[in-house]
Amino acid sequence: MTAPLDNDRLLRALMREPVDVTPIWLMRQAGRYLPEYNATRKRAGSFLGLAKNPDFATEVTLQPLERFPLDAAILFSDILTVPDAMGLGLYFAEGEGPKFERTVRDEAAVARLAVPDMASLAYVTDAVRQIRSALAGRVPLIGFSGSPWTLACYMVEGGGSDDHRRVKAMAYSRPDLMHRILEVNARAVTAYLNAQVEAGAQALMIFDTWGGALSSTGYRAFSLDYMAQVVDGLKRESEGRRVPVIVFTKGGGLWLEDIAACGCDAVGLDWTIDIGLARARVGERVALQGNLDPAMLFASPAAIRAEVGRILAAYGRGSGHVFNLGHGISQFTPPESAAVLVEAVHEQSRAYHEP
């Protein structure tokens, strides 16, 4: 369980400590683009059958690491486990994405919300423990959660949404109700992430997928302030080592300086910002993670290698960069393209880390 890490590049890069090559992992690295994932999912019967069973969750977490020399594992789970544990009834309608049986749209539903007992999320912490032991120190394990705002988006809308009409209407017309949801979510997310650290997570990532849907002032009030509250409540050391925290707001490029000041160790970038400009803006304050357009994996190997070269050159010399996609890998990605990417990052980045 506490075996020393064979490969700790991820943790070192997140703390901006020297590395031999730039570490890489892929958002949604365990997923439907891998035939072995689809086979396990079939055996499990459904996505939730997979995510709620620690044996299956361990199996699929390890699958991408068997194929590619990735520098991190990420817990196989979902951000929506938290509202599910709040009693909202998560389900997946075939081909339609996540849905909730009960939404949180009125005063009464908001009043009923409470921080769930972490015992109802024991399948997640059990999976963390099991994955750690299966990894046996190969690479660090990343735990994660949705941001309070992104969870609120699904809780109020009752599923995915193109325009976030209901959740934004609530934020702008009944900020009192929205703040009450966000306050409960922030406490739930803090407890959930700390439970993952206690079970063995070695780094944490907060996914703020929908922060970028807000106005500048809305983003600070409804998303960033609550992520700062979460970060402030996290256990930052475990097994004698720092547990770095990555905050990823999709579409957050305009607010980089503010995100970098929220208390996190690293900021996740989508593909819309130049990583060199991002580095110049946040300076030595945080590490950066990203920022290859996931659609680049539909291009030729030569184009993938060239884009890797461009991003590495834009970031420049020295540590503090964790290579990743700017968002989750598409289910239609050829696995061979992911192999080309991982190899290119390790090969081409060496020159940027030589003394």
Those residues with Cβ within 8 angstroms of residue 229's Cβ, 6 or more apart along the chain or in another chain: 186, 190
Q: Count CB-CB contacts under 10 A for residue 236.
A: 14
Question: Is the CB of residue 337 less than 8 Å from the CB of residue 344?
Answer: no
Q: Which of 16, 28, 132, 279 is catalytic?
A: 28
Q: Which residue is nearest to ligand CP3 (CB)?
A: 209
Q: Which of residues 100-159 bind ligand CP3 (CB under 6 A)?
A: 144
CA atoms of 264 and 157, how far apart (whole Å) = 28
Listed residue (2, 4, 8, 26) closest to 293, CA to CA:
26
Instruction: Clarify whether 226 is annotated catalytic.
Output: no
Does residue number 99 form part of the binding site for ligand CP3 (CB under 6 A)? no
CB of 332 to ligand CP3, least distance (A): 10
Token duo for residue 40: 């396990």
Region near ligand CP3 per CB under 6 A, out of 30-38, 183-191, 225-233, 280-288? 30-38
Question: Is the CB of residue 37 less than 8 Å from the CB of residue 338?
Answer: no
Task: Kindly tell me which of 18 and 49 has the beta carbon lying closer to ligand CP3.
Answer: 49
Region near ligand CP3 per CB under 6 A, out of 25-33, 133-141, 187-195, 301-309? 25-33
CB of 288 to ligand CP3, least distance (A): 18
Q: By CB under 6 A, how many residues form the interface with ligand CP3?
A: 20
Does residue number 246 form part of the binding site for ligand CP3 (CB under 6 A)? no
Which listed residue (68, 76, 255, 315) binds ligand CP3 by CB under 6 A?
76
Q: Which of 37, 154, 219, 315 is catalytic?
A: 154
Task: Kindly tell me which of 103 and 209 has the beta carbon lying closer to ligand CP3.
Answer: 209
- 190-to-167, 256, 355 alpha-carbon distances in Å: 22, 22, 39
Q: Three-state secondary structure along 72-98? A: CEECCCCCCHHHHHHHHCEEEECCCEE
Q: Which of residues 325-354 bind ligand CP3 (CB under 6 A)?
A: 328
Does residue number 78 form part of the binding site for ligand CP3 (CB under 6 A)? yes
Task: Kindly tell me which of 44 and 305 has the beta carbon lying closer to ligand CP3.
Answer: 44
Instruction: List the alpha helices (DSSP H) in 103-224.
Output: 107-112, 122-135, 148-157, 165-173, 175-199, 216-218
Token pair 């030589």: residue? 354
Which listed residue (137, 160, 212, 263) binds ligand CP3 by CB under 6 A?
160
Does residue number 97 form part of the binding site for ligand CP3 (CB under 6 A)? yes
Which listed residue (9, 10, 31, 262) binds ligand CP3 by CB under 6 A?
31
Amino acid at 319: S
Amino acid at 69: P
Those residues with Cβ within 8 angstroms of residue 211's Cβ, 6 or more apart along the chain or in another chain: 147, 149, 150, 219, 223, 224, 249, 250, 251, 252
Q: CA 135 from chain center: how many Å?
A: 19
Instruction: Clarify whether 41 is annotated catalytic.
Output: yes
Task: Kindly tell me which of 76 and 315 has the beta carbon lying closer to ligand CP3.
Answer: 76
Does residue number 98 form part of the binding site for ligand CP3 (CB under 6 A)? yes
Which listed residue (34, 57, 80, 113) binds ligand CP3 by CB under 6 A?
80
Which residues contact ligand CP3 (rule: CB under 6 A)? 27-32, 41, 47, 74, 76, 78-80, 97-98, 144, 160, 207, 209, 328
Query: Which residues are annotated as catalytic?
Result: 28, 32, 41, 78, 154
